[in-house]
Structure 1
Amino acid sequence: MPRVQAGEVQLGWREWGKGDVTVVFIHGNLASKDWIELAAPLFPWGLRVIGLDWRGCGDSDRPKPNADYSNYSMQQHAEDMLAALDTLDVGYCHLATHSTGGIIAARMLLMQPRRFGRVLALDPVTPLGMTFNADQIGLFRSMMSSKELTRTVMATAASSLFVPESMAPNAVPRFREGLGEIEALFDRVIDQTFGVSEGIWIGTPVNLTREKESRELERRMPELRHPHMVLWGEKDGWIAPDDLRAMAKAMPDCRLVIVPGIGHSMNLECPALYAGYFGGWFGGLPATLAAD
């Protein structure tokens, strides 16, 4: 896969489609740009979609984490993304985010507001941040050395793919019948997870907790004037709906849509449905619609 220079690191990137309207996809924690590969062929004509891997993920460089994980902060990821867009000569674009990609995008929007137009945020970590206690961070450490545990935890991020009874405590998640290429992609992204940096495994929950405690982005939500469509799967047990409602209330142009029957990862769980929302939000836009 190609890589792009972004300051001190090179980030993996991938492109789907050709067109005058550019949308940049920013993935979630322990993930990669590949999480939209099944949806991408269903995106409308006229869109150029670019997926970027965070530092420490996918095909990107894996710098050694600082003792405090400061070089894997949300601000650092945002700066990496902006530097990559500079190198790729993307002067103006829209954003599609998933999970922790949402709070990274918020920092990008605040740093360079006129560079971006619309945002499609799938089950985002909001500008409020998230809190992880010592036991939860310990779980991430345990996942680093256990593929079985990682698969069990990651299954909760795509819960509609699995037989409900198999999601009970101490059970082994079992795929529903007939998933085909979706099942294959899920298994591949689990394998990818074991290549990510400790700066991702531990640094992400540590830095999201810092975001929550600082309340910096919470106070700045009214500045995020870009049109947002926020999609939340009703079976998502990772993102608190109250946080999304607070986000929608505080931001000037933010619409919250609750999607039935879907968990935290519509892009994996139902790629065609995700592509439908994606196309409805970005399809047919003028090429250079500047943000207000």
Structure 2
Amino acid sequence: MRGSDAALSQSHQHFPLTGGTHMATVTLPSGLRLFYRERGHGGQTVLLIHGNTASSLWWERVMAHLPGHVRTLAPDLRGCGDSDKPAPPWSIADLAEDVYQFTQAMGVQRCFVVGHSLGGGVAMQLAVAHPDLVERLVLINSAPAEGLVTPPERYAQLEAAVKAPELLKAALALMMPTAPRDEFYQAVLEESVQKSAGALIPNGRALDGMNLVEQVGGLRVPTLILYGRQDGLVTLDMMERTRNQIPGAQLEVWPEVGHSAPVEAPERLAKRLIEFFGIQL
């Protein structure tokens, strides 16, 4: 057994089951330790990639609405949730390579990939770098293919938000304007502030440096772009450009949803994923 294989076989640290979701950590060949949520099992796999200052928790209700005969995996990206928090900087390509190593550690050779916000940028990079892995691609209020540049003067505000939990919670709340204000909503905000705030600026810098316009023009993967119209960050123009840049991509606008469909409309989102992926119920 190779050293990396041995590390993988010994690196799963298991946590209790919560609501049918299995939680664990895995150490990648790079040495990075990623926390993940897993639900269901079967021949088909859905990979869920969260956004900036978020975690796999954001997908919990979507996962609960997907059928049990489909394996669903949602890792915490580096710097977020309960995954390792290495020193920045890092790039979107680095995040995508982490996710690719994660899929290989989990024995996934082909999967449906869903990316939200920053996770959409990671998903596009993953599809470009490892096209054989991605069977179908869904982008939800995604970072556009040309990247998402934060104005330099805005970083001072972001640094202040990282140091002020209530300010950061208020900013995150604007990203999910139609979400029910229930216990799950509060848990999402709390975890984001407590465990993922440190990734806000490094992820912003990564998005500043992202430009996949030329590369996505070579994609041959069926792609669906979902856009919640009540989004104050990602614009419809951005999503229309990305739709035009990915051959054959579809764009679907949800007028009554904001930036964060995984939290705002999880059941509707799960149903749309089942339909687009052709999953049999």
TM range (shorter): 0.7 to 0.9
Name stretches of at least 5 consecutive residues in structure 1 with no aligned partner.
162-178, 286-292
In 2, the alpha carbon distance for the partners of 1:226 and 1:283 equals 14
Q: Provide the C-alpha distance between the structure 2 equivalents of 1:250 and 1:145, rounded to a whole number of angstroms.
A: 38
TM-score by length of 1: 0.84
Q: Hey, what's the Cα distance between the residues in 2 that align with 1:38 and 1:262?
A: 16
* Alignment gaps of 5+ in structure 2: 1-22
Q: 2: distance between equivalents of 1:220 and 1:283? A: 26
* Alignment correspondent of 1:93: 111
Partners of 1:82 and 1:245 lie apart in 2 by 27
1:5 aligned onto 2:23: no
**What residue number does 1:173 align with?**
none
- Greater displacement, 261-270 / 43-52: 43-52
Q: Which has the higher contact order (CA 8 A, sep 6+)?
A: 1
Partner of 2:222: 227
Tell me how far 1:203 sits from its aligned partner: 0.8
Checking the alignment, whether the CA contact within 8 Å between 1:23 and 1:96 is kept in structure 2 is yes
User: How far is 1:45 from its partner?
Assistant: 4.5
Residue in 2 that maps onto 1:290: none
Matched with 1:52 is 75
Contact 1:234 1:260 (8 Å CA) reproduced: yes
Quote the Cα distance in structure 2 between the aligned partners of 1:189 and 1:229: 26
Residue 195 (structure 1) shift: 3.5
- 1: CA distance between counterparts of 2:197 and 2:242? 30
Name the counterpart of 1:191: 190
AA aligned to 2:101 is: A
Say if 1:225 and 1:4 are closer, same or farther in 2 by CA, change over 3 A.
Answer: same
Between Structure 1 and Structure 2, how many residues are aligned? 257
Q: 1:119 aligns with which of 137, 144, 156?
A: 137
Q: Of 147, 160, 171, which residue of structure 2 is paired with 1:129?
A: 147
The answer on whether the counterparts of 2:58 and 2:262 sit within 8 Å (CA) in structure 1 is: yes
Percent identity, aligned pairs only, is 28
Normalising by the residue count of structure 2, what TM-score does the alignment of the two structures yield? 0.87
Structure 1 residue 52: Cα displacement: 0.7
Residues 256-287 of structure 1, C-alpha deviations (whole Å, 9 max, x = no match) = 000021100111012211111121122427xx
CA distance in 2, matches of 1:24, 1:39: 12
Aligned twin of 1:18: 41
Counterpart of 2:279 (choices 266, 284, 287) is 284
Does the 8 Å CA contact 2:141/2:260 hold for their aligned counterparts?
A: yes
CA distance in 2, matches of 1:237, 1:219: 27
Corresponding residue for 1:153? 171
Provide the alpha-carbon RMSD of the alignment: 1.6
CA contact 1:62–1:196 (8 Å) conserved in 2:
no
CA positional deviation for 1:198: 6.7
Kept in 2, the 8 Å contact 1:46–1:283? The answer is no
Aligned to 1:78: 96
CA-to-aligned-CA distance 1:209-261 (integer Å, 9 cap, x gap): 122xxx4x112221122111111011011112111111111211210000021
Which SS does the other structure have where 1:18 is aligned?
coil
Within 2, Cα distance between the matches of 1:192 and 1:250?
A: 35
1:246 to 241, 245, 256: 241
- Mapped to 2, the partners of 1:236 and 1:132 lie a distance apart of 16
SS of 2:72's equivalent in the other structure is: strand
Residue 110 in structure 1 maps to residue 109 in structure 2: no
